[in-house]
């Protein structure tokens, strides 16, 4: 113990005998001129217990001494006021729009329950392990996505890349939220605009307000016999809901979204991009303003908003499920969603789709989980929360699937069709099929208002995570900016709004597709691989377990299972899926199946490169710096400089030596 404590520079004089009596009196006289507060700060800074002497590296060496400046790192960062704020914020980041419009269709498209099984397996082996890793390592250090890499300085580029990906997603995610606001206000009109065909749509696109069963001579309806005259103006006003079905007709809800809301242009070429649409630009401004207002005071304000924004969607989803569950045809849709097609498990596309949904849904590698964990108190027992949040993410995905596919079943029953003919994904699900379904329900306006407000609140929580991640990275790298937190939030909101304006142009839909496909989808797989490798193989899984034992008081339950996931399952599965995606690569496509033009694909790869280039650039920068430092001569010293924790990697416990002496004895 004496040897361990000797590594600390306590800055305190100790009376070792009468020979030092004169020196002691001189020091006491000088200390009288200092204030009591300054003395306490000096003692606390110099006497801070550093866990490096308690938990040595894997090779048995002791880490470098901490500096007094390290103690002041977390000043002004803030902490969660209570457990509920932390859990709800993490749930808001993990439970988002993807649970409602992306998960259900992927489950149907990839074998129903077979997809669910693949999703659960990947979540247990990869998603949950990375979620737990990000929460605990950020909580241990009290640092965000960039500063956390003091554990492995050469990998700091991963943290910078996470910050770039977060702001990229924040820009285009806000566009989707502006769509929901557009529909929310449109739901206040006396007649829902997506239920009416404009004259232009009737002439050019053979528009129909509703989809009806195909009319045959012997078809019987509950309201009477189907009789069609062939004249649409007459058939539309028949007392029975039956008109001749035109296979080439286009539903009004689809035309309203593509022709009226986003006014989608024929292509992504510069001449087709156009100028920002006024109504969408206003909705984007309103959405950005709400996000900035909620983040104005950091987690102190966003932590209060999540009490409503996270819980409200569950009430709406349960109400919609209860409403549609008892309608005819709902069971058919649920069967499509849950009945397994086990042969699908042999298809690697199923596993690739499940992995993509897992990252998109849980929010790992997007920086939000690291950021939220860094605001926890040091000894917070986060293990059970990580399990709970992952379970709630899965439960919400299943709930969203039941709601969506029970509605699909009802729609298919009403038009005498099958579920696969009405099922769509992405925009088509949220802004075409579901508005059409809502128009057939009683109290149509009420359900429409609730549904689109629910979509907005789902997106709001995730947007909090993306924006706060970027702000946290800036404030951690430049601590003086913390005193300008509110100004930083407003400035970031303004910049994101300006950068988002091209996405609300007639060609903006294609821009959003490029940003999502290249700047988030591909980039996240690469980031996830290097993140887990840099921590578990660079910093060392033994060091991680020791850090968790020091922080939580004991090794995590089933720690051998976590070690297997971190060191073998995560890098192996993620690396394999990335290689598979690259081999089976398909560029984004237009609605007619044609791929985007080559120049657009090149822009997409540039977005991907900008997102990922911090990883190699930072590594080479640090290598060059190591050759410029006179005290680094040997390759062993250079290796330690690049890959070993630096002096800033300390636990965020705030303990001093004197406080910890009884525990060290």
Strand 224-225 and strand 220-221: the pairing is: antiparallel
Highest mean pLDDT among 59-73, 195-209, 412-426, 612-626: 612-626
What tokens appear for 446 in the block? 């009420």
User: What's residue 78's pLDDT?
Assistant: 64
Q: Which of 51-60, 247-256, 554-563 has the lowest mean pLDDT?
A: 51-60
What pLDDT score does 35 carry? 43
Res. 77 pLDDT band, cuts 50 70 90: low
Is the pLDDT confidence value at 406 over 70?
yes
Q: Which is nearest to 58 in space by CA: 565, 567, 531, 530?
A: 567
Q: Output the pLDDT for position 658.
A: 35
pLDDT in tens, 478-503: 888 888 888 999 999 999 999 999 99
Residue 330: Cβ within 10 Å count = 21
Residues forming the annotated binding site? 92, 95, 99, 361, 458, 461-462
SS3 589: strand
Tokens 């890959």 map to which residue?
643
Is the pLDDT at 85 greater than 90? The verdict is no
Chain segment 332-352, per-residue pLDDT in tens: 888 888 887 788 888 888 888
| pLDDT at residue 536 greater than cutoff 50 | yes
From first CA to last CA, the distance across the chain in angstroms is 7
What pLDDT was estimated at residue 659? 41
pLDDT at residue 3 is higher than 60: no
Does 187 have pLDDT greater than 90? yes
As a whole number, the mean pLDDT across the chain is: 79
pLDDT over threshold 60, residue 76: no
Averaged over 530-534, what is the pLDDT? 95
Q: Which of 27-36, 248-257, 399-408 has the lowest mean pLDDT?
A: 27-36
Structure tokens belonging to residue 20: 């030092």
Q: Which residue has the tokens 């696969």?
A: 420
CA atoms within 13 A on the CB side of 90: 28
- Domains parsed from the chain with CATH numbers: 83-191+258-623 (1.20.1740), 196-257 (no CATH)
Rg, C-alpha atoms of the chain: 29
Q: For the ranges 476-480, 506-510, 536-540, which has the lowest average pLDDT? A: 476-480
d(CA 129, CA 92): 19
Q: Which of 25-29, 204-208, 220-224, 280-284 is least confident? A: 220-224
Please say if the pLDDT value at position 31 is more than 60: no
Structure tokens at 622: 């640090």
What per-residue confidence (pLDDT) applies to 236?
Answer: 53
Question: Quick one: average pLDDT of 271-282?
Answer: 93
Return the pLDDT at 414: 72
Mean pLDDT of 121-132: 91
The count of other CB atoms within 10 Å of the CB of residue 629 is: 11
- Give the SS3 label for residue 82: coil
Query: What is residue 535's predicted lDDT score, i.e. its pLDDT?
Result: 95
DSSP-derived 3-state class of residue 242: coil
Q: How confident is the model at residue 185 (pLDDT cuts 50, 70, 90)?
A: very high
**How high is the pLDDT of residue 46?**
35
Return the higher-pLDDT residue of 184 and 302: 184
pLDDT at 248 (0 to 100): 64
Tokens representing 391 are 């379970």
| Binding-site residue set for Na(+) | 92, 95, 99, 361, 458, 461-462
Q: What does each C-alpha distance from 495 to 52, 200, 218, 292, 578 come to in angstroms?
A: 41, 38, 62, 12, 32
Q: Please tell me the predicted confidence (pLDDT) of residue 502.
A: 94
Q: What is the pLDDT of residues 196-235, one digit of tens each?
A: 888 888 888 888 777 655 544 433 443 344 445 455 555 5
Q: Are strands 207-208 and 250-251 parallel, antiparallel or unpaired?
A: parallel
Which pLDDT score, from 0 to 100, does residue 303 have?
63
pLDDT at position 496 is 94
Instruction: Report the share of the chain in percent with pLDDT over 70.
Output: 79
Report how far residue 27's alpha carbon sits from residue 229's, in angstroms, rounded to the nearest whole number.
107
The set of residues, in sequence order, having a beta carbon less than 8 Å from that of 583 and lying 6+ positions away, is: none
pLDDT, average across residues 129-144: 91
425-429, 583-587, 616-620, 626-630 — most confident range: 616-620
- Please tell me the predicted confidence (pLDDT) of residue 213: 56
Question: What is the pLDDT confidence band of residue 276, given thresholds at 50, 70 and 90?
Answer: very high
| Per-residue model confidence as pLDDT tens digits over 609-648 | 999 999 999 999 999 999 988 888 888 889 888 999 888 8
Residue 353 — φ and ψ, nearest 5°? -65, -40
Say if residue 45's pLDDT is above 80: no
């Amino acid at each position: 113990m004496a040897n361990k404590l000797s590594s600390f520079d306590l800055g305190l004089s100790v009376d070792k005998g009468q020979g030092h009596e004169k020196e002691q009196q001189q020091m006491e006289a000088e200390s009288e001129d200092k204030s009591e507060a300054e003395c306490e700060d000096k003692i606390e800074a110099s006497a801070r217990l550093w866990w490096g002497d308690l938990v040595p590296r894997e090779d048995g060496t002791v880490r470098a001494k901490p500096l007094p400046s390290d103690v002041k790192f977390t000043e002004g960062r803030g902490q969660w006021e209570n457990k509920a704020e932390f859990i709800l914020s993490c749930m808001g980041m993990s439970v988002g729009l993807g649970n409602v419009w992306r998960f259900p269709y992927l489950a149907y498209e990839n074998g129903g329950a077979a997809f669910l099984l693949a999703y659960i397996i990947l979540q247990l082996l990869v998603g949950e392990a990375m979620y737990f890793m990000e929460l605990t390592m950020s909580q241990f250090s009290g640092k965000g996505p960039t500063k956390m890499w003091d554990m492995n300085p050469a990998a700091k580029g991963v943290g910078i890349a996470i910050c770039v990906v977060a702001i990229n997603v924040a820009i285009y995610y806000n566009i989707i939220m502006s769509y929901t606001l557009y529909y929310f206000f449109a739901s206040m009109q006396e007649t829902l605009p997506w239920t009416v065909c404009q004259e232009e749509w009737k002439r050019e696109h053979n528009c129909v307000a509703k989809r009806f069963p195909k009319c045959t001579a012997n078809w019987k309806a509950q309201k009477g016999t189907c009789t069609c005259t062939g004249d649409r103006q007459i058939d539309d006003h028949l007392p029975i809901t039956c008109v001749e079905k035109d296979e080439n007709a286009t539903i009004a809800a689809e035309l309203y979204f593509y022709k009226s809301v986003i006014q989608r242009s024929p292509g992504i070429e510069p001449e087709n991009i156009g100028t920002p649409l006024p109504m969408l630009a206003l909705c984007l401004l309103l959405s950005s303003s709400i996000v900035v207002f909620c983040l104005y005071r950091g987690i102190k304000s966003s932590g209060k908003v999540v009490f409503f924004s996270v819980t409200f969607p569950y009430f709406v989803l349960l109400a919609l499920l209860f409403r549609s569950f008892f309608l005819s045809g709902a069971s058919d849709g649920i069967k499509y969603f849950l009945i397994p097609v086990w042969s699908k498990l042999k298809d690697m596309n199923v596993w690739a789709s499940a992995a993509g949904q897992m990252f998109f849904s849980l929010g790992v590698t997007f920086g939000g989980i690291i950021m939220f964990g860094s605001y926890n108190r040091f000894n917070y027992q986060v293990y059970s929360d990580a399990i709970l949040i992952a379970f709630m993410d899965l439960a919400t995905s299943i709930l969203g699937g039941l709601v969506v596919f029970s509605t699909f079943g009802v729609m298919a029953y009403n038009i005498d069709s099958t579920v696969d003919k009405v099922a769509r994904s992405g925009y088509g699900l949220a802004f075409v099929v579901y508005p059409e379904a809502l128009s057939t329900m009683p109290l149509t306006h009420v359900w429409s208002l609730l549904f689109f407000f629910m979509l907005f609140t789902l997106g709001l929580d995730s947007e909090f995570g993306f924006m706060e991640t970027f702000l946290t990275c800036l404030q951690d790298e430049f601590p003086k900016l913390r005193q300008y937190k509110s100004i930083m939030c407003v400035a970031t909101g303004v910049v994101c709004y300006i950068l988002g304006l091209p996405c609300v142009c007639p060609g903006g839909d294609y821009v959003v597709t490029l940003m999502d496909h290249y700047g988030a989808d591909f980039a996240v797989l690469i980031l996830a691989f290097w993140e887990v490798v840099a921590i578990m193989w660079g910093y060392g899984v033994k060091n991680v377990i020791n850090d968790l034992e020091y922080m939580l008081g004991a090794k995590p339950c089933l720690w051998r299972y976590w070690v297997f996931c971190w060191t073998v399952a995560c890098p192996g599965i993620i690396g394999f899926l990335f290689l598979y995606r690259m081999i089976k690569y398909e560029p984004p496509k237009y609605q007619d199946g044609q791929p985007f033009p080559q120049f657009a694909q090149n822009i997409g790869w540039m977005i991907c490169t900008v997102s990922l280039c911090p990883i190699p650039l930072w590594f080479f920068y640090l290598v060059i710096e190591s050759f410029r430092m006179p005290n680094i001569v040997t390759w062993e010293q250079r290796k330690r400089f690049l890959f070993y924790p630096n002096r800033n990697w300390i636990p965020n416990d705030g303990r001093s030596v004197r406080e910890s002496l009884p525990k060290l004895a």
